[in-house]
Amino acid sequence: MNNRNNQWNDVVSVYSDGQGETGDPLHQYMIDPEISEMLGNVSGKTILDAGCGNGYWVRRLAEQAKKVIGIDSSSELIKKAKSAKNPSNTKYRIADLSKRIDLPDFNFDIILSSMVFHYLRNIENAVAEFKRILKPKGRVILTIQHPIYQYHFRVQSRAGGSPGSFPVPLGYFNRKIVEQTIMSGKLKV
């Protein structure tokens, strides 16, 4: 993805201000409590936040984890994340989940990717990269929007209109692609 054209760069202030250090109300009351429960005790763990946005999960996890790396395809969100008060066990870098991620094999105990996969045009590379960089017996915690929330973009696109700032995640709605990815062994449910 050409980072200069990254749609998140255009809305970094609105997004980051809305998320703050605790997430917006949807995250605070619905998404993040579930993520916290799935994460459990992260003491001593090495964690990747894939699609870290403004980095609030990175900073939150760094309070207990051994090391937390946040990656995002938006250079502006990474700048925003780096500009916050970050613990010394955190790092941020620009990375595109549709390409090889410049991280070592079998490096992470946990990969968190919250509300990211529904924006990917192709999930296959991200899944393959997660498998490559995750330690054996490591865990991936993944949250996505229900498809209805992106449906209006898809309808606009199919009708010949502009989907707005964000691309239509066609693979997200294509059951065959999802099934092929799962059946290929790249993703285990």
Q: Give 114-125 as a DSSP string.
A: ES-GGG-S--HH
The span from the CA of 15 to the CA of 182, in Å, is 31
Q: Give the pLDDT score at 160.
A: 66
Burial class (CB in 10 A: 0-12, 13-18, 19+), 15: middle
In a 13 Å sphere around the CA of 52, the CA atoms on its Cβ side amount to 31
Q: Give the pLDDT score at 188.
A: 46
Question: pLDDT by residue (tens digit) across 68-116?
Answer: 999 999 999 999 999 999 999 999 999 999 999 999 999 999 999 999 9
Q: Give the pLDDT score at 15.
A: 77
Angle formed by the axes of helices 75-83 and 12-19, nearest 10°: 40
Ramachandran area for residue 55 (φ above 0: left; ψ -120 to 50: alpha; else beta)? left
Q: Give the pLDDT score at 180.
A: 61
Q: Give the pLDDT score at 30.
A: 84
Q: Is 153 helix (H, G, I), strand (E, B) or coil?
A: helix
What pLDDT tens digit does each residue of the chain (189 aa) get? Answer: 444 457 778 888 887 888 888 887 888 888 899 999 999 999 999 999 999 999 999 999 999 999 999 999 999 999 999 999 999 999 999 999 999 999 999 999 999 999 998 888 778 999 999 999 999 999 999 988 766 555 555 555 666 666 554 454 444 445 565 556 555 655 444
Q: Give the pLDDT score at 170.
A: 43
- Confidence (pTM): 0.77
Containing H/E element for 71?
Answer: strand 67-72
